[in-house]
């Protein structure tokens, strides 16, 4: 690691606040200490410091450190040291690891800096230091596995590589539900159901934490669209929020016990999230019993005293001048009690001790790209969803004489998501190599070639690629091939939403042309979220592979040729078109051209009442009697399953049923249980309550016993500010998807 960089940038320092200057100076001293011969320095003897006693509780250790800190040191810990590598020309804080943010540590007390990195689907900005980072499937894709173990593996990959790169914190953990299916960031979240999304994201972040890396949940809260994200004021009553978006946070926070929660850019019921007393103090810290610290989204802080009193603990990236000198002054003048500043610092320190970043700091190692790729491929194989398979066109036979591959750079790679979740591709963009890392909103392909992997599966087949820009040429190739695979894409990124569910560009016309030329057409989707499919009746197969990560093409080939039996199920509803959605136009984009929508700051401040309330996704479709293109929970397999014998244990609130593999291949079925609450709940929809992946050999049956998720059975009662279990009869339904629940029974809840 170069020690020159900080000095090179000194001319920029004049523009920084004095507190940041002090922090940087402290770090420069620390940095210089590191290079002085050992005999010439008086390094602190960490072993003599009482808080280094590992047998003490994190809170106790944090209090001991807190007692030693000066006011300036405390202030230093509650804000970051600037934009660093994220903003061109910004100085890079000395001692930082070139991540998205850096909190300068207190070396005299043995407290390291906090080096955090964006790492939603893999570690961002790797190219900056010529590092390698594994690109995992999109988290929305991974949520299609409905597999908490797979989610933990996902988090372990991220945590492992963060440590190997020298970071001690992730700022991934997005759990905003798919309220707006065109949201540019859906790919870095986990779908529309709060319990599924919360479970998957919570387990992912638990996986990160298992690697002694601090973990995070974001963007708290109601940051469900990118359009106007800095100015939109989301208006929703507490009941609706608690039963939808906030439930996803409650579940994920309960599982992950995160080090930090990142508050979002938008306003909720009149206050910015990062200075929202209800969200931060009352709910997160009191009701959810969150012990970590609240970190602002980058430049999401809007005040000093209000934010501090209403629950924000750390301002990032820290150049806003809210939590540096102004906070010190506010504390000195008594506007912010010292106890509140101490609480902020305590929360940070206790999380550092709890994660082990002080006892077991990261050790730089070369990231193992092979292990990462294998893990990514495993997750992708569980994530891919088979949506259509007419006449058993899939799996393909290895003896297929000729296969046409059309579109979406399927010769060289697979698509990735953009924005702060962008991972740099090894060797650069596979579709358009050039020196350097990826640029904001650039469409990046990773070198996992569908063409090569499909050819490897069927060595005797003629596998030919057409890029799809010439529709007639693509149709001609399709006509002369046994099977045509059309790859279509929906590039998505932070900062803007898709203007519509339609595939961008001429891709729908391309699919129609290929399907007209070859009856054996299969569409492979690389999408950030749900898309419409006007051509669905004209194609035989549809495979949703999301953004599949660095092992994506291998996983796809395994699925296409049947080496892996698809098991993924949709974590989001696919609407037929935009008109079916609660908001046919993305709120804020009415009358705005799609080009202007690419920049959220073009949108003027507006209030947004999400009229669907808690009825997000499948709940909306059911309540409004609409039939989607593909329902939540849907996904096909190369085998078939039968469900039987549902019974309910009223006392235990468990359900029991049997799943049998009625086909001739081994497979894994995601069995789902839904509940409909008694009439008094006044709900016109069912809720996902439990699920399990069931692996079955041909002909095999397994008995499944599942506990209904307690929060799927309760309504939120605003008057008592508590979850309420209504007495009465609950319908219990089990089956392969939200729209196919052949088993029915009743749960009786007695008063």
Six-digit token pair at 340? 């509140």
Which CB atom, from 121 or from 406, has the smaller least distance to ligand BGC? 121
As measured in angstroms, the least distance from the Cβ of 171 to ligand BGC is 4
* DSSP strand pairing (445-446 vs 414-415): antiparallel
Which CB atom, from 297 or from 622, has the smaller least distance to ligand BGC? 297
Query: Among 167, 298, 535, 638, which residue sits at the site for ligand BGC (rule: CB under 6 A)?
Result: 298
Site map 218..257 versus ligand BGC, x via CB under 6 A: x---------------------------------------
The yes or no reply on residue 420 touching ligand BGC (CB under 6 A) is yes
Instruction: Please report, as residue ranges, which positions from 88 to 147 form the binding site for ligand BGC (by CB under 6 A).
Output: 100, 118
In angstroms, the CA 613 to CA 627 distance is 20
Burial classification of residue 592, based on how many CB atoms lie within 10 Å of its CB (0-12 exposed, 13-18 middle, 19 or more buried): middle
As measured in angstroms, the least distance from the Cβ of 494 to ligand BGC is 6
Residue 521 DSSP one-character state? E
Which CB atom, from 249 or from 298, has the smaller least distance to ligand BGC? 298
Annotated catalytic residue, options 147, 297, 578, 600: 297
The yes or no reply on residue 411 touching ligand BGC (CB under 6 A) is no
Q: Which of 12, 20, 90 is nearest to 325 (CA)?
A: 20
Would you call 497 a catalytic residue per the annotation?
Answer: no
Measured over all CA atoms, what is the biggest interatomic distance in the chain, rounded to whole angstroms? Answer: 80
Cβ–Cβ < 8 Å for 92, 118: no
As measured in angstroms, the least distance from the Cβ of 534 to ligand BGC is 33
Burial classification of residue 91, based on how many CB atoms lie within 10 Å of its CB (0-12 exposed, 13-18 middle, 19 or more buried): buried
Site map 344..363 versus ligand BGC, x via CB under 6 A: --------------------
Which CB atom, from 298 or from 634, has the smaller least distance to ligand BGC? 298
How many CB atoms within 10 Å of residue 462?
14
Q: Which of 541, 545, 490 is nearest to 515 (CA)?
A: 541
Q: In 385-461, which ranges are E strands?
A: 385-389, 402-406, 414-415, 445-446
The yes or no reply on residue 171 touching ligand BGC (CB under 6 A) is yes
Query: Among 115, 226, 275, 297, which residue sits at the site for ligand BGC (rule: CB under 6 A)?
Result: 297
Instruction: Please report, as residue ranges, which positions from 186 to 225 form the binding site for ligand BGC (by CB under 6 A).
Output: 218
- φ/ψ of 247, rounded to 5, equals -65, -40
For every residue of 101-118, which 3-state class applies, written as one string?
EEECCEHHHCECCEEEEC
Instruction: Please report, as residue ranges, which positions from 49 to 88 form the binding site for ligand BGC (by CB under 6 A).
Output: 86
Which CB atom, from 207 or from 300, has the smaller least distance to ligand BGC? 300
In angstroms, the CA 141 to CA 570 distance is 9
CA dihedral 249, 253, 254, 259 (to 10 degrees): -170
As measured in angstroms, the least distance from the Cβ of 87 to ligand BGC is 10
As measured in angstroms, the least distance from the Cβ of 123 to ligand BGC is 12
Which CB atom, from 86 or from 688, has the smaller least distance to ligand BGC? 86
As measured in angstroms, the least distance from the Cβ of 299 to ligand BGC is 8
Total residues at interface with ligand BGC (CB under 6 A): 8
In angstroms, the CA 365 to CA 399 distance is 44
As measured in angstroms, the least distance from the Cβ of 117 to ligand BGC is 9
Which CB atom, from 397 or from 599, has the smaller least distance to ligand BGC? 599
End-to-end CA distance of the chain: 65
The yes or no reply on residue 497 touching ligand BGC (CB under 6 A) is no
Residues annotated as catalytic (active site), given as ranges = 297
Give the footprint of ligand BGC on this chain (CB under 6 A): 86, 100, 118, 171, 218, 297-298, 420
């Amino acid at each position: 690691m170069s020690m020159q960089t900080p000095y090179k940038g000194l001319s920029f320092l004049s523009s920084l606040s004095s507190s940041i200057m002090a922090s940087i100076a402290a770090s420069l001293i620390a940095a210089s200490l590191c290079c002085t011969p050992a005999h010439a320095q008086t390094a602190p003897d960490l072993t003599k410091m009482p808080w280094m006693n590992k047998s003490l509780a994190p809170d106790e250790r944090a209090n001991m450190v807190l007692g030693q800190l000066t006011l300036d040191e405390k202030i230093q810990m509650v804000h970051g040291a600037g934009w660093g590598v994220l903003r061109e020309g910004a100085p890079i804080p000395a001692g930082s690891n070139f991540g998205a943010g850096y909190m300068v540590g207190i070396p005299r007390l043995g407290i390291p800096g906090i080096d955090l990195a964006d790492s939603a689907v893999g570690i961002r900005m790797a190219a900056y230091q010529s590092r390698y980072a594994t690109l995992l499937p999109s988290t929305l894709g991974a949520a299609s596995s409905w597999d908490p173990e797979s989610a933990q593996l996902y988090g372990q990959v991220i945590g492992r590589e963060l440590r190997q790169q020298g970071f001690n914190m992730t700022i991934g953990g997005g759990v905003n539900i798919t309220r707006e299916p065109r949201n540019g960031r859906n790919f870095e979240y986990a779908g529309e159901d709060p319990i599924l999304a919360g479970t998957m994201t919570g387990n992912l972040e638990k996986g990160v934490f298992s690697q002694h890396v601090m973990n995070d949940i974001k963007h708290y809260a109601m940051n469900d669209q990118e359009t106007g994200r800095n100015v939109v004021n989301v208006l929703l009553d507490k009941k609706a929020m608690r039963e939808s978006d906030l439930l996803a946070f409650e579940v994920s926070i309960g599982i992950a016990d995160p080090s930090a929660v990142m508050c979002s850019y938008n306003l909720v019921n009149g206050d910015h999230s990062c200075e929202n007393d209800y969200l931060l103090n009352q709910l997160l810290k009191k009701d959810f019993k969150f012990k970590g610290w609240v970190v602002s989204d980058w430049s999401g802080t809007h005040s000093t005293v209000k934010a501090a009193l209403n629950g924000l603990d750390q301002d990032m990236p820290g150049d806003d001048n809210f939590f540096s000198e102004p906070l010190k002054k506010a504390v000195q003048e008594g506007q912010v009690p010292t106890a509140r500043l101490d609480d902020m610092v305590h929360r940070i320190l206790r999380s550092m001790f709890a994660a082990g970043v002080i006892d077991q700091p990261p050790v730089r190692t070369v990231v193992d790209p092979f292990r990462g790729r294998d893990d990514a491929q495993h997750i992708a194989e569980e994530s891919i969803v088979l949506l259509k398979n007419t006449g058993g066109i899939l799996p393909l036979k290895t003896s297929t004489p000729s296969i046409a591959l059309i579109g979406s750079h399927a010769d060289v790679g697979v698509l990735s998501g953009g924005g702060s979740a962008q991972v740099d591709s090894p060797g650069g963009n596979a579709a358009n190599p050039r020196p350097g890392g990826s640029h904001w909103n650039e469409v990046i392909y990773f070198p996992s070639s569908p063409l090569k992997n499909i050819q490897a599966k069927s060595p005797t087949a003629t596998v030919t690629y057409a890029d799809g820009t010439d529709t007639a040429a693509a149709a001609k190739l399709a006509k002369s091939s046994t099977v045509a695979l059309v790859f279509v894409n929906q590039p998505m990124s932070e900062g803007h939403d898709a203007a519509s569910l339609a595939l961008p560009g001429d891709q729908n016309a391309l699919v129609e042309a290929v399907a007209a030329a070859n009856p054996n057409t299969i569409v492979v989707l690389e999408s950030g979220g749900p898309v419409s499919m006007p051509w669905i009746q004209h194609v035989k197969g549809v495979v949703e592979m999301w953004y599949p990560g660095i092992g994506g093409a291998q996983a796809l080939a395994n699925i296409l040729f049947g080496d892996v039996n698809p098991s993924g199920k949709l974590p989001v509803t696919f609407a037929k078109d935009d008109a079916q959605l609660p908001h046919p136009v993305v709120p804020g984009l009415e009358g705005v051209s799609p080009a202007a929508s690419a920049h959220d700051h073009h949108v003027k401040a507006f209030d947004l009442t999400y009229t669907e309330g808690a009825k997000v996704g499948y709940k909306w479709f059911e309540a409004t009697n609409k039939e989607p293109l593909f329902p939540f929970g849907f996904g096909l397999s190369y085998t078939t399953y039968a469900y039987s014998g549902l019974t309910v244990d009223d006392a235990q609130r468990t359900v029991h049923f049997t799943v049998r593999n009625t086909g001739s291949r081994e497979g894994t079925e995601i069995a789902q249980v839904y509940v409909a609450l008694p009439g008094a709940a006044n709900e016109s929809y069912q809720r996902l309550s439990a699920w399990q992946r069931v692996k079955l050999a041909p002909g095999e049956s397994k008995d499944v016993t599942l506990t209904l998720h307690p929060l799927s059975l309760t309504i939120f009662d605003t008057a008592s500010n508590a979850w309420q279990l209504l007495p009465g009869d609950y319908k219990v339904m089990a089956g392969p998807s939200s729209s196919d629940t052949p088993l029915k029974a009743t749960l009786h809840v007695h008063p």
